[in-house]
Amino acid sequence: MANKVALVTGAAAGIGAACAKRLARDGHAIGVLDLDEARCAETVKAIQDAGGQAIALGADVSNRQSVFAAAAKLREAFGPVTILVNNAGVTDFTPFEEITDDRWDFVYAVNVRGPMLCVQAVIKDMKTAHWGRIVNISSSGAQTGAINMITYSSSKGAVITMTRSMAQEFGPDGITVNNIPPGSVMGTIMSEANRDKFQFPTEVLLATLPVRRMGEPNDIANACAWLCLEESSYVTGQTIGVNGGRVVS
């Protein structure tokens, strides 16, 4: 497959870093986007050390100007952007009656407005190329619902619905849009910071997972890379569960 240019958000750490490195291995030049450039340095270096191409993009996905400036910088460095992985996200464990307007708006700004803005920033490139791949990282919590996670799980539900609608709108332009709702992926900033807030302790969760292991960032990255292949052109609007069997549908 010819080299493409991929923008991966939240790529300084965790699942986003794994997706960025995996897509670089497939020969794509990567825009490593995260809240500030310095945070992106480790992922950029890992890609370059492995012989790949990457640049750091400091941007807040919830901010229109910031996202468009980052996309322009990436385009200038490597060319039109035809792969987008909307991975940046924030979680929330607020019991329902304690949810504030500010917290709700913040989570929705990052998790829902963020992916929408990132698509707006690169969609013209994809339409011009008559080729594009958009992978949105949602959450298995949106499929099952989760206690104390109404803000987060509903925002990720919006990501799943956004995927379906975008797939229909952009399909005629050769652009596929899919989402991956991860199960519990350990070793990320998000999962390690919130271990004590999970609905079930790890041992209990493990016993319910058919594959009997927790997820790793590369589990998600491998599925993401597959969705970005030429061979996946007939897959769009789908929810590709990578969750060890946590959600079976």
Ligand X SMILES: NC(=O)c1ccc[n+]([C@@H]2O[C@H](COP(=O)([O-])OP(=O)(O)OC[C@H]3O[C@@H](n4cnc5c(N)ncnc54)[C@H](O)[C@@H]3O)[C@@H](O)[C@H]2O)c1
Angle, alpha carbons 18-237-182 (nearest 5°): 35
Nearest distance in Å: CB 175, ligand X: 21
Judged by CB under 6 A, the stretch of 70-78, 125-133, 188-196, 228-236 that binds ligand X is 188-196
Alpha-carbon gap, residue 243 to 193, rounded angstroms? 20
77, 13, 81, 76: which is closest to 41 by C-alpha? 13
Our finding on whether 239 is near ligand X (CB under 6 A) is: no
Alpha-carbon gap, residue 208 to 245, rounded angstroms? 9
Instruction: Enter the tokens of residue 70.
Output: 């980052």
Residue in 20, 71, 85, 90 binding ligand X, rule: CB under 6 A: 90
Concerning whether 234 is annotated as a catalytic residue, the answer is no
Our finding on whether 236 is near ligand X (CB under 6 A) is: no
Residue span 132-151 as binding mask against ligand X, x where in contact by CB under 6 A, dash where not? -----x-x------------
Judged by CB under 6 A, the stretch of 57-65, 74-82, 94-102, 227-235 that binds ligand X is 57-65
Q: Which of 78, 108, 131, 152 is catalytic?
A: 152
Instruction: Enter the tokens of residue 205.
Output: 């969760």
Q: Is there a contact between 157 and 142 (Cβ–Cβ < 8 Å)?
A: yes
154 to 183, contacts with ligand X by CB under 6 A?
182
Burial (0-12, 13-18, 19+ Cβ within 10 Å), 247: middle
Residue in 153, 163, 179, 188 binding ligand X, rule: CB under 6 A: 188
Our finding on whether 241 is near ligand X (CB under 6 A) is: no
Residue 40 has phi, psi (to 5 degrees) of -80, -15
Nearest distance in Å: CB 159, ligand X: 8
Residues recognised as catalytic: 152
